[in-house]
Each structure stands twice: as C-alpha cells, then as structure tokens.
Structure 1
Amino acid sequence: MQLKRVVVTGIGALTPIGNTIEEYWDGLVNGKSGAAPITYYDSEKFKTKFACELKNFKAEDFFDRKEARKLDRFAQYALVSSDEAIKDSGIDFDTVDKFRVGVIWGAGIGGLETFQNEVLNFAAGDGTPRFNPFFIPKMIADIAPGNISIKHGFMGPNYTTVSACASSANAIIDALNTIRLGHCDVIVTGGSEAAVTIAGMGGFGAMHALSTRNDEMETASRPFDATRDGFVLGEGAGALILEEYEHAKARGAKIYAEVAGGGLSSDAYHMTAPHPDGIGVVRVMQNCLKDAGLEPEDVDAINTHGTSTPLGDVAELKAISKVFGDHAHKININSTKSMTGHLLGAAGAIEAIAAILSMEHGIVPPTINHKHFDENIDPKLNLTLNKAQKRDVKVALSNTFGFGGHNACVIFKKIS
C-alpha cells in the first residue's frame, strides 16, 4: 500500500509568550520569558510562587458567559487555538466531506481546575453532594476535541491521546498515520493544558519537579545550564491542521511543511526519571528517522524536550550525540521551554509549531537564560544559546517525553 503524504496547512497557538501565532513567533525569536508571579490563586504558602500563565487572555473575548461556564480553561484554549489554525488553513469546510475530517487532540491532565474546585466546594460544605451538572463534561480530557468537532460539524475520528507530556506529540503522530492510511483528508490536531492550579502546582512541587527560584523567576527555566533546578509550569495550546498532500495541492493551499514521520518508544525504566543513558530517547529518534526515510545527516534543527531538569537535559543530549554522531555538532539544538515553560500535554504541539516556523522563517529560536556550562554536556553541541540564529532549516525534529517513560518524536521537512 502506498502511504499518502501529509502536510501542515494551518497553525494556531495560545502561549505564555503570545496569544496568536504572530505573537508567539515574535516572543520566540526575541527570547521572551513567560514566567511571572502566579495570579490565579494566593501562592504565598507554596514553595514555587511563579509559573508561565497566559497573559491578557479573557474568555469573554471568545465565548459568551453561559458557554464559558461550561468549559474548563484547557477546553477554552483548545477551541481558541484550533479556530486560529482552521482560519489559517483557508479550508472551506462547507465544500468537503466532513466524515473525512477528524480531531485528534492531546491533553496530559485535562480539566484539573474543574476537578479541584468541585472537590474543594464539596469539602467546604455540609456533606451534601451539590456538584455542578457540568462537572464531568468540563473535566474529562476528551471533551476538548469533542467541542471542536461539535462546533464545526467534523464527523471523522475524534479522541484524545493521554501520555503525560508526550500527549500532543502522540496526537500529531496519530493524525499523521490516519491520513497516511487514507482514512481522512484533514485532521485538526494539537493539544492544550491548564494545570497552573493549586492542585497542579502543589502536586508537581511535592515531587520536587519545579524550579523554586522565586527571586529569579524570569530566568528560572534554564535548560542545559549547570544551575538548573527544575521546570517552570506553563499553560496554553497549540493546533495544527494536517492535510493529505494532494487534497491540499488541489485547493492551492499554503503548505508550511511536510510531516515526514513520527517515532514512539518507552524508557521502561522509572516513573518520572529518564534512563541516564537515554536508551529510550535514542530509539525514539531512530524510529522517527526510519519512519521518515531520512538519515541523521539530513537533520538541521532539533527542538528538544529540554525541561530544565538536572537529569532529563543531560540524558537527552547524550542520546542526540549517540544518534547523530559528529553531525550532532552541526545541528541547531534548542529548548523553547526556556521561554514558554513546560506546557505538559500541550508541549509537543507548540514545540512542533516552533520547529515548523523555524523552517518558514530561516531562524532557530534561542535557548535563553543560559549562563553556566554543565561539564556533563558536550561543549561542541550548538545549543543556540541566548540569541536566535539564522539557519536554512530544511528538516526539523521535535522531541517530547512524558512521565511513565512515554517518548514521542515528530520530524518535519520543507515540501518538495
């Protein structure tokens, strides 16, 4: 069976450094930090008092009050970012078969704030169960793609992938394969997350996963730096329109990039820590290259998982050196989490978009906040430190890894 080619024809983003694609890209190339004091609740008693929240996002700008009350923030973000991507694609959905249009979305947690608030309200009451009738529909992780499909009448495959921080990368790979196999012509994919909550920050803080640099919050997310002490929690969403190549070409679509391939693997090692030698990460990148029919020497740029954790950053870079050999020194390697923080289930989507925009503009965004070199990291690697670098990027790879050892890798290339 001849697999169909798949391309990206629309993108949308809602991030801590910009609420549209244009704003997001501007923030990336200018090295903007999204970290700031938490505004959603009183964080005084928490070890970490900052996060990468969305700025200037108002639900009432996109939804009426009644509709907004039925949606957890993660679902609001999904609808807003997917609307931008759908508009960007230029597809007239009144002229296509909606049974061949699907939504495959990623979320690592889903409606955490909704769950938290309902339980807190119950605990504060007299023991009588007075739960909101929208509690379950607002909370479940699969409601985001459900709402997207309902809004637009898309009747193809519709589901959520849940693999912690790899969730939206998994969604992109599922969307790729669904179109490749001829089951759909168009899929809205990506991911959203809204875990900057009492429960989210408290839970990750208890794991000692978060940076506690409250006096240096803007520079706390510092991937690859010797003084890194944990990730900065972020929130938002990224959306991509994947389309079968001939379908896109027939309507004269603008094509951002071809989705060349995807790879998956498992660390099978530890609940939260990566294998110190990056064995699973080596395999996921090898699987991705094989799926794409590309050689290591073809890759120009890698947007790493790069969360700013002591163990994870070193393991990933060791894996890159193993997979790419001497060519690793010729690759622009970066971590956009240094700017956006870690968007958990939405990370793969917004970072895939960053990789695509690198090809579009010929610029690789920087890894900001780097001051101290780590002796455990190969000094010959080009980590694109502190300043964006011009580069004709023909092939870009995006890594995403999740708690539980879930590894996902997506590779994009310029259309030819």
Structure 2
Amino acid sequence: MKIHPLITSTDDLTALISRLSTHDFVAVDTEFMRENTYWPELCLIQIASPEEAAAIDPKADGIDLAPLLDLLVDNDAVLKVFHAGGQDLEIIHNLSGKVPFPLFDTQIAAMALGYGEQVGYSSLVESMLGHSLDKGARFTDWSRRPLDKRQIDYAIADVTHLSEIFPKLVKKLIKTGRGDWLDDEMERLADPSSFAFPPEDAWKRLKLPSRNPAVLGRLKALAGWRETEARQKNLPRGRIVKDDTLNDLAAHPPRTQDDLGKVRGLSSGWRSNDIGGRMMAALEKAQPLSDEDLPSREPRRPGLTKDAALVSDLLKLLLKIRAKEAGVAARLIARSDDLEALAAGVRGNLPILNGWRFEEFGRDALDLVEGRLGFATENGKLKMSRIAD
C-alpha cells in the first residue's frame, strides 16, 4: 500500500479524493481534542483505500476540506468504514450537517461475529491480523504542530489496518449469514438526529430536581441558556456552570443578580458581569412547563414486581447462554430494558421479538416467560428444557 506524506494543500487533497472515489470503500479515522472545548477540535483525518493511505491536516493554512466532505457525505457509491465511529461521525456532522452514508462500523460487525462486547481496535487488529499496534503516540496532543513522522505513521496505521480488516469481516459475515443483522445498527448510527441537539432540549439530559412545573421550567431555561453560552464560547458545559449549580438555581432562584454571588459554584463576579446578566434574563423569561411537556410519572418501561424481577434475571441468564452458543455479543442481541419489559408483560415494539433477534433469542425468551421453557441441569451443566403442555 502506498503511504503519502501529510496532505496540507487543497490540490493534493482533491487529487487524492479523485482516486479514492473509484474504490468500493474507504477506511476513515480522525484525531481530535475536546478536553477544553465544547466542539471537538479536529486535528487530523486519516483515510485509506486498499491501494493507498494518507493523513490530511485540517489545520493547514488555506486547505479546503470540501472535496473530502463531498466523498464522505454525498458520494453514495463509496462505503465509509469506521471503527467505533460515533465521535468521528459527530465531527463530520459538525462540519457538513450530514452523516456519512452508506457506512460500516467494524466494532458492531465484530460484535455480530463473537469478538466480544465493544471490542477495542487493538484487540481486533491482534485477532484478525496477528500483530500488535504501536501505542507510543496514544497520548499525543494532536493540535500541536508540527507533527513528527512517528505521530503521522501511528495515525495512518489505524486506517491501513482498517482497510485490511474490513474485507475479512465481510467474508465472515457472508459465511455466517449475519450481514443482514447489521442493517438496523448501521441505520441507527447514520441517523442525523443523533447529532442534532437543540439547546431547548438540554434539560432532558439532566437529573431532574423535582416534578414541580415552575422548577422544571426554570431548569429548561437555564439549561438552554448554558448550552448556547457553551457553544458560542466553545467551552465545555461544566466550564460555564456545573449541573448541580443549575439544579440549585432552578429550585431556589435568586431574586436579583447580586444574589448570584451567594450561590455555591459561582464566583462573586457573577453579581455584576455580563454572563450573570444573561443568566438572570433567561430565568426571568422562564415559564412553568405545560402538562404536555412534563416528564411522565411512569418509567419508560413498566415497573417490575419482585416476581418479574426474578424473571428478568432468568432472561439475562438465557441471553448469556444463547449469545455464547451463537457466538454473538449479548449486547447486540438485547438490552436490559428490553428484557425487563418482556418480563413485565410488554409484547409490542420490542426488537427481540422481531427479525433475527427473535430467531436467535426472542422465541426462546418468550417461551421462558410464558412457561414453555425452563432451566435444567444435566451432568452438572445448565441446559434449557422444553416443558410439555
């Protein structure tokens, strides 16, 4: 495989993308920093076909990433391959407003093939290619320039290995007939709504201090204000105001801006500074939540009785057995809340009762819950036993 020098010009990038666009797939990875920012700071993009690989410097003076983004989000003829690509997709969505499609995540594929729960990239490389990754540059500050050859080689190795792993995974998926299993997961991963997060919904991610409509109305206003401030200043949310302080302010709102100096978690400067003024303005505009907007008193899934909780535990044991037999990561088959819902009597809109999940696990799970399947031991080993009508 041909490895190019670091790409720092639009002309070189355009030429590279022109060649990559002739292939069926490209492997993609990014290096970024986000410890001190709201938005992840893109520092390097690595991309490879089966024939060539390169690292692209998005910080290079004058470089235009439009050719790359066109390939990633507008070229449906080329499959984009990532490993655990959630944060990479977030970065691309921030740059373009779109999510790469079609896409393939090797971590999810590896789960379907029995490589374990959320298998790490290093482990997958060792398992499939038989050699270890150089981890010497893991803690590089990718925002600093210049990058030396070792750092660039380390970054490019991620996509060169990925371009080798992908065809091997595809062959195994075809051989096992599990390619279709991944469709729902890849579609979910490519959903742009996962990355479009309006400030007015920020309160829903917080631990709610009460169900009082007035308190929640103030929390909604404060959380939306903080989200906007964090984005505009490109700072982490907690660097503006911490969650606990927001809850305190919503539950015990200050009467005047001068009172902000008495709030735990805020400095005395908030008594008179502009950001304190904007916070008070947000509080003054807050309206109690309507009945329609109030979070439901009922949990998303029915509450479990003691007996149902025991049934849920049995379902988890069954899942462990079936996942081991099938050589699939249990997490890909079912999640705990789905098992709890089945144990509590839910039968509609459960993924485990549809498609391949039903064939691999759901049918037996339903039989267990409804008394047609039980656990037994034979020669000291646990097995499933059908129960006669």
Give the helix-richer structure, 1 or 2: 2
Greater relative contact order structure (CA < 8 Å, 6+ sep): 1
TM-score strictly above 0.5: no
Give the strand-richer structure, 1 or 2: 1
Q: So what's the TM-score if we normalise by structure 1?
A: 0.24
Larger radius of gyration: 2
